[in-house]
Each structure stands twice: as structure tokens, then as C-alpha cells.
Chains A and B, each alone.
Chain A
Amino acid sequence: MKRENIIDALDMIDEELLNNAMDYREQKKARRFSFSKLAAIAAAAVLVISATVMTATATYRFEVDPQDANEAFAIAQHYIIQNAENRDPYNVMIAYGLEAWRYDESAEGKLSGLKPVVNLKFKVAGYSYDAVVDLNAGEVIRCDKKYDPNWDDYTEQESYSYAQIHTLISAGKSFDDIGGNINNADAMRILYDYFEINDSCANRFSYFVSEQSANGLGDSCESVTILLSYVHSGYIYSCRIDPVTGEVSDASTTEITDDIYSAKKHLHEHTDNPEFIGFIKACSLASEALGLPDKRDDFPSVLFYYSSQGNYFNGVDFIKPDDVEAFYHYTMRPSTGSNRVNVFLDAKTGEILKIEESDDNLKSNYEGFER
């Protein structure tokens, strides 16, 4: 049968069937909305994080539907991998300071499609990317890559996603850095296989978070276990992977029940070395020192890092005392329009190592922004 015939025959599909198909789609959409609200909130939270610190107004940022932003990011990720700019999907997945907004339609003048053209800015492995993604065509229109000499200077990229925080927790180390027999991509595949996750990193926003267990920091790879958590479609898939044998242990699947913070808490519950204070406690200590209500659930106004070695964080000079093994660094913005406050805590004792208030010239951006 000729192709033309089938095209013409399909044109004669009963209108009733077409209506039914469309109705069904709408019903699914309505149902999906209610079921996926939590996942959407989680995705939105990532954007909220971005929105708080960028130079334009927060409302402008929110013009992009989180789902569209996720889709655009996935397309950009895929593009980067396809173009051999970064073959390691693990690295591509961790976007630093992702921000997304609707492209300037009036400037382009022809963007009348169903979906927006999204402009994304993000950082991956030392490079800044500025990508424009057309969601109608599902393709990257433009993707500029620029080496970022200030990769370690996060003053302009305050909007850390959850993923990057945890990367910083591992003090800038990647799986490759810690030795053993597996690398980042292997770890990802092991987790995928274990949980039977079907994700070619081309669908939706997702990221890995990695953490060496606290007792492994600075030790040889034999004593290091890797905690890998993968946040995907409202679930966190976590497991420990032995970097030498690739063996999986402590596997769990957790639904993100309230918001993205549960993911954060979940990870910290796995930081099992009693020698170190947990994140929750550290956060409370920092809040107490500042005379603030406990802000741990008020992310993104609280940003935190954990390091065993760094001396320069977020534009604040900080020299780690020799007798301090590891420290937490928090950046807080206590209230709308206030200055940023940096707090450094000894990770073992909770002792305040340094508190510094800084005028970061960004506070005006918060005015009018409501969480």
C-alpha cells in the first residue's frame, strides 16, 4: 500500500475518535498535574535557588515553566555530550548555578511557537555555558562555551543547586580523584543498572550528588565508600559504591515527600561518622550564633559548603587553622534586602571559626522577591 494512501485514510479518522484521544490526553494531564505537583515543586525549588541571586528580577526568572527549563537543560546536556565537549555525563549533569529564562521573544521577533525558547546559563567542569534551546524543535540553537578562570570563585554564582553543594562537600574531589577502579561514569552506570533506571541523560532534569563518607576524607581509597544519590522524577536513589570493587551496598529509594530539602536531609543522615557534626546540627549552631531562627528549612537563603581543605570560599578569605580537620561554611541572607553573612564552623566541634558580614551588592535583587 502506498504511503500516500495511508496518509489520506488517516485523514478520514472519525472526529469522535479524535475528540476522545484529545479528551484522554487532557484527563491525563490534569491527573498528572496533581500527582507530579511535588516533583514540580522540587524542580521549581531549583529555579527558586537560581532566582534569588541573579541580576534580573525574580519574577522574570519564573517565566519559564520548570518543566520547560528541565527539558531545555536535558537537551543542552545531550548536546554537550553529543558534541564531545564533555563525554562524561556525570560532569554534564552537575550544573553549577543553572538559571533559565524565556528568551527575549521581542528581539527575535519570530518565536511564536508552542513552547518557549529557553536561555540557559550553567557551569560544568570549569566552563561557563550560555545555551539557547528551542523547545519546539527540541534543539540547541546556540551554545557558547567559555572557560571560566574564576571557577573556584563562586561570588557570582551564589545560586547553588543541591547537587553542587554536595560536590563541594567532597571538597572538590570527583570520583576520578579518589582513585580506585571506577570513575564517575562507571559509578553512574552502576547506579543506573542497580535501580534499573532508564535515563540516557536526555530526558529531564536530574543530577547526581556524590559524597565521600566523612571517615573517608583524606584517607586512601580502600577506606572510602561513595554515597551516590540520584534525584530523578521525585525519587532519590541512593547507594554506596565501593570504588575498588564497584560493589553496591545500602541501596535505598526514597520518595521526595515535602520538597527538595528532604533530599538534602536524606544525604546528611548518611554521613555516619559520629566524629563529625551533622549538617542539621551545624546549621542550627550557625543560626544560633547569628541569633537567627533556624534557617535550615529556609533554603535558598542558606547556602552551605563543607570542606576539609579550602581556604577561599565565596569571596571570603578564610585560612583553615591547622588544628581544624574540616569545616562547614555557610552563607546566609537573614532577610530580604540584608547583607550576606558568612559563617565558618569547625565540622567536629561546631565551634565558630569566623563570622563575617559582607555587602555583596546583590541585596537589592532580593527586594520584592517572595519565597
Chain B
Amino acid sequence: MQDKEIVELFLKRDESAIQNAKSKYDRYLYKIAYNILGDRGDCEECLSDTYLGAWNSIPPQEPSVLQTYLAKLARRSAITILRKRTRDKRRASEYAVSLCELEECLPDNNTPEHEADLKLLADAVNGWLRTLSPDKQAAFIGRYYFSDSIRDIARHLGVSETKVKSMLYRLRADLKKHLEKEEIL
């Protein structure tokens, strides 16, 4: 089924939208989730969250590219699960518990200043990404957005793993330079 038709089903609140999205993108989304979480059980939870997220957000959203939209949701959900998992692990020791208790006295990250900083950073990264050639964009996004392995990126781009590693190394250095120039670092 075409993406457009699946989106139509979502918009009509037809539950088969989820099934169709699942049969088309489940493996793809699983891969994204697995790259971040590395655990089958967590991946299943992540995918459930992703489809639920899609169901809850379309409408009002009407994604032009469903694959990217679902990928974003899956990534976000996986990061949330990962953060929760890390937090749970931290809480295992008394020392960590005491730190967590203290953390509650501190302001959280959801302040307007923090949001503004994030926006600036995101704009800088987006601007920098636009200056890159398509293969470099794909490598950077593959590695740092979709958490693809070096091997997978090499396969996707049809180059050696060594080349991918050196490309990413140069890209990181270039990003750092760019962020320093933009006075973000």
C-alpha cells in the first residue's frame, strides 16, 4: 500500500492504518529501535509506542513522507525508553538514589532558556548539514540520527568501513568548528 493511502486511513481514523504501517515499516523501525536500545523486548515496546504515537498525532499531522515520520517517532520513543532504563539503573545504588533526590531540587531542562538553546543548536546543526554533500549527509544522519552501525553505513553507501570511519571523524571535527564559529560551543 502506498504511504499516501496509509496516511488517508490514519486521517479517517481507520485502525487498519496501523496494521498497514506495521506490515510495511515494522522491520525498518525495528532496526532503528534496535540500534538505539539493543534489546528485543524494549524494541517491541518502542514500536508499540511508535504506532500509538502515529495514531495519536495523525491527524492533526499529515506527514508527507510517512517513513521519515515514523522513523522520527521510533527514534524519539527509543531514546525515551533508553533514558528511562538508564535512570532505573542509576537508581540501583544508594549513592545514585541520593543524587536523584537532590536532582529534584534543581530546575529541570524544560526551561524556556534551555529550549531556546536547543533551538539554536538544532538550527546550527541543520545549517551545517545543508552545506554537506549528499553522501556525507547520509553518513552523518545514518550514524547520529538513526544510530546505524559503521558496517551498515558502509553497505548503504557502497564504501569501505574505513572510509566511513574517517568520513565521520572529519565530519565531527567540522561540526565542532562550525559550532565554535557560531559561538554555540
Chain A residues in contact with chain B, CB under 8 A?
Answer: 1, 4-15, 17-22, 24-25, 28-29, 31-32, 110, 112-114, 136-138, 198, 203
Contacts and interface: CB of A to CB of B under 8 A. Distances in A.
A18 B72 contact: yes
11 contacts: A7-B79, A11-B75, A17-B130, A18-B71, A18-B145, A20-B137, A22-B68, A112-B40, A114-B27, A114-B34, A138-B149
Given A32-B158, A112-B30, A24 B134 contact: yes
A198 B185 CA distance: 37
B134 to A, nearest CB: 4
B121 A13 contact: no
B158 A11 contact: no
Given A11-B79, A22-B67, A25-B138, A17 B118 contact: no
Contacts of B162: 198
B125 A15 contact: no
A15 B34 contact: no
B30 A114 contact: yes
Contacts of A13: 122, 125-126, 129, 141, 145
A306 B183 CA distance: 71
B: interface residue count bin: 35 or more
Given A28-B156, A113-B30, A113-B34, A4 B185 contact: no
Contacts of A137: 34, 38
A24 B122 CA distance: 22
A15 B62 CA distance: 13
Contacts of B158: 28, 31-32
Contact of B156 (A6, A12, A17, A29): A29
Contacts of A10: 122, 125, 144-145
B117 interface: yes
Nearest to A113: B30
A14 B126 contact: yes
A1 B160 CA distance: 31
A22 B137 CA distance: 10
B40 A110 contact: yes
Given A7-B79, A22-B65, 20 more contacts: A4-B109, A9-B118, A9-B122, A10-B144, A12-B126, A13-B141, A15-B64, A18-B72, A20-B137, A21-B134, A21-B137, A21-B138, A21-B145, A28-B157, A28-B158, A113-B27, A113-B31, A114-B27, A114-B31, A198-B160
A227 to B, nearest CB: 27
Contacts of B134: 20-21, 24
A25 B158 CA distance: 9
A24 B161 CA distance: 18
A5 B138 contact: no
B125 A9 contact: yes
B76 interface: yes
B90 interface: no
Contacts of B76: 11
A21 B141 contact: yes
B26 interface: yes
Interface of B: 26-28, 30-31, 34, 38, 40, 64-65, 67-69, 71-72, 75-76, 79, 109, 117-119, 121-122, 125-126, 129-130, 134-135, 137-138, 141-142, 144-145, 149, 151, 156-158, 160-162, 184-185
Nearest to A29: B156
Contacts of B75: 11
A-B CB proximity, top 7 nearest: A12-B122, A21-B141, A9-B121, A114-B31, A9-B122, A21-B138, A24-B134
A19 B65 contact: yes
Contacts of B156: 25, 28-29
Contact of A1 (B34, B130, B161, B185): B185
B69 to A, nearest CB: 7
A6 B75 CA distance: 14
Contacts of A12: 118-119, 122, 125-126
A12 B28 CA distance: 20
Nearest to B142: A21
A11 B68 CA distance: 12
A306 B161 CA distance: 39
Contacts of B64: 15
B112 to A, nearest CB: 15
Interface centre among A7, A29, A136, by most B CB within 10 Å?
Answer: A136
B34 A25 contact: no
A274 B79 CA distance: 68
B142 A25 contact: yes
Contacts of A28: 138, 156-158
A335 to B, nearest CB: 39
B5 to A, nearest CB: 19
A201 to B, nearest CB: 13
A5 B109 CA distance: 9
Contact of B69 (A7, A15, A114, A198): A15
